[in-house]
Structures are given as structure tokens and as C-alpha cells.
Amino acid sequence: MRAGADGCPGLVRVHAAADGGLARVRLPGGVISGPRFAVLAAAAAELGDGFLELTSRANVQVRGLSDGAERELGARLRAAGLLPSTTHERVRNIAASVLSGRDGAGLLDVRPLVARLDAELCADPGLAELPGRFLFTLDDGRGDVIAMRGDVGLYAVGADEMALVLAGADSGLRARPEEAVDLALSAARAFLRVRTGEWRVAELAGGLPLPGARAEPVAVPVAPRRTALGAIPQRDGRTAFSGLVPLGRLDPAPLHGAGEIIVTPWRGVVIPDLSDVPHFPGLVTAPEWDGLTSCAGRPGCAKSLTDVRADAARTRAAGGLPVHWSGCERQCGRPADRHVAVVATPGGYEVRLDGTVRTGDLTATAAAVATTRRSE
């Protein structure tokens, strides 16, 4: 297989979208400190369209950059510590269990592993060759991010043991937490040795050749246990607030002053370590937004057949499977797990589930989505 160009955007190489430059900022574990968030928000306001777009991998994007503004953006974010490596920035795709170590829901605290994986990834020049879509997942056993079917995952199966999960399947290889990052990186290096153009581990015909004794594989969750919404008690007596950002377009202003912000892979944010829970305008906890996502669509994407965000917002429905709206067949940002796909085509929207297709105008589509979700 021959590899084409790796088109994943970053901060150094921005994507030329219809509404201007688009820069993607990697946030390992989805975590960003309050001061860094303030820098990012100011840069988005002064250089972009003022919003932060949340991605399905818990990264953020700045849109609407004018020609040349990416250099100023990169300089500001590098000074703030948000661009620790120019060679590795696009491979720092690390999703981690949200609230790990804080709410007591996991078997161990993966936060130190996120920091170590990020540092060791960036310290190995060879790993800069990983594709920009290659994903690491670090799951503390709660079963949230491991269901994203990342390329290389570490899944806690005990307080002292992590399973190496490759493309969503348990390899049987095990490591103690302090050795787990080495195991994950050895899997990433093995991918680079055997790939002949594949972007993802799942595309390798022969899998990954990794030595070592195998344990009996465990079942890996295929549907993520998404972060609860609203106030979440922490083990230390404080509270985290979890809210969704409708269709992933975040106005950062109401989050100013937060000590830390965790972006979730479900277009939400969590503000941890609160003594009191203030109101955060723009964050919602209503269930009709849960699982409803869309690509950018018009006017941001020239390939889009319609303004999918506006259409999705008019047709939300509660309960059932996640629903992802797309402006064309590429279906950017769609969930990895089973979902209802609403795809714009020249003949109108198609609602797709498990190979079944329905076509219709917006009203018919809304009805089809609601029916499909309720029946699941």
C-alpha cells in the first residue's frame, strides 16, 4: 500500500478551509490549564473567529485565521507551552479517561501516564513519523476512551495491571502501570516498522508482531461510557462540572478563571476541582444534546453540501444511539462506535444505520433520526 499525503492539520501546518486557516491544537488527555486556556482564547479572538471547535479526540481547533496569522498563533501557543514539539505536534493524539484519579470511578489514575507518554513520544525522533490520525488511548478501567478503538490503548484491568489494546482488541499483553508506557510505545514503533502506507493499526493485514507472553484476552467495551453531565462529586470533597458544548463550538469567555479545563471526546468540557459550581453559560446538560454531533459543514468547509450544524440543531432528539451529521460522504469527526449517520447527499439527507438508508428532506430526516434513536 502506498501512503498519500498526511493531511491532518496542526499548528505548524494549518488547513486552508473555506472560512480561512484552520489550526488544530493537541491537548493530551484533553487537559489544558486555566492560564493556557486564556492564551488560547485570546488568540482565537484576535486571530481567528473567536470560538474553539472541539474535536472527537478531545483536541481543539481555531478557525477563520487570515493569511499568515498561523505564525502569530504558533508563536503565542509555543510561548504558553501548548506547542512543546514542532516535529511531533501532530502525533500527540492521546485520549485519556476523563476525571481519572478524581472521581474514584477508575482502577488507577492515568494522569501520570498521559504526561509520561507525551514526553517520551516527543523525545523519540522516529515517532514523529506516526500518521497524524494515529491515536493512543489511556483508560483507567472505566471504559470510556478505550471504546474509541484507538490504535494503541492501555486499559486498566486491575489496580496494578494494564492490558495492551490494539485497534479495539485486547492483545493479551500485560504490563504494570510503570511499564505500560514503554509497552505502548513499543507497539507504536512496531507499527512504523511494518506499515507500508496504512494509516491505522486496524488497516494492517497481519496485525502487529509483538513478543511476550499472552494473558487470556478480556472483552473491551465497544460503546463508551460517556462522562456524566452536571455536578460530579470528587473524592477530595470538591466537585467537577460536566457540560456539553452544542455541536462542539465553544465560546471560551464563560470559562475564564477556571483552574483547569478537560475537553472530552464527546464535545463536552469538564471543569474540575470546584468548591462551588457556578453557572457556565454555553454549557448544557440537557439530554437532547447528548450524543448529537456534526462536522463543520457550511460555511467553514467548501466540500459541504449544506449548513449541517444549523440543521442538526433544529432536529435534536433525546435518547438512543449517538447521531452524527455530515455535510458530505467524508463524515469527518464521526464517532468510532455504532451511531446513526445523517449524511447530506445531492438528493437530500440520508439517515443510515447498519447499512439501512433512508432519504428525505429535513422534516423527514428529523423524524427518521428520532425514530431510529428511540428504537435502540
Residues that bind ligand SF4 (CB under 6 A): 295-297, 301, 303-304, 326-328, 330-332
One-character DSSP codes across 92-150: --EEE-TTTTTSS-SSS--HHHHHHHHHHHHH-GGGGGS-TT--EEEE-SSSSGGGG--
Minimum CB separation of residue 329 from ligand SF4 in Å reads 7
Of 79, 81, 77, 80, nearest in space to 11 by CA: 77
If DSSP codes are grouped into helix, strand and coil, which group holds residue 291? coil
Query: Which residue, 177 or 297, has its beta carbon nearer to ligand SF4?
Result: 297
User: What is the C-alpha to C-alpha distance for residues 214 and 171, in angstroms, rounded to an integer?
Assistant: 7
Minimum CB separation of residue 303 from ligand SF4 in Å reads 4
Query: Residues 249, 267: contact at Cβ < 8 Å?
Result: no
One-character DSSP codes across 246-276: GGGEE--GGGTT-SEEEEETTTEEEEEEESS
Query: Which residue, 179 or 329, has its beta carbon nearer to ligand SF4?
Result: 329
Minimum CB separation of residue 189 from ligand SF4 in Å reads 31
Minimum CB separation of residue 365 from ligand SF4 in Å reads 16
Minimum CB separation of residue 328 from ligand SF4 in Å reads 3
Minimum CB separation of residue 297 from ligand SF4 in Å reads 5
Query: Which residue, 13 or 111, has its beta carbon nearer to ligand SF4?
Result: 13
Query: Residues 114, 94: contact at Cβ < 8 Å?
Result: yes
Query: Which residue, 56 or 304, has its beta carbon nearer to ligand SF4?
Result: 304
Residue 313 CB: number of other CB atoms within 10 A?
A: 15
Minimum CB separation of residue 342 from ligand SF4 in Å reads 11
CA dist list (Å): 143 to 67, 106, 205, 296: 42, 9, 27, 28
Query: Residues 176, 195: contact at Cβ < 8 Å?
Result: no
Query: Which residue, 110 or 342, has its beta carbon nearer to ligand SF4?
Result: 342
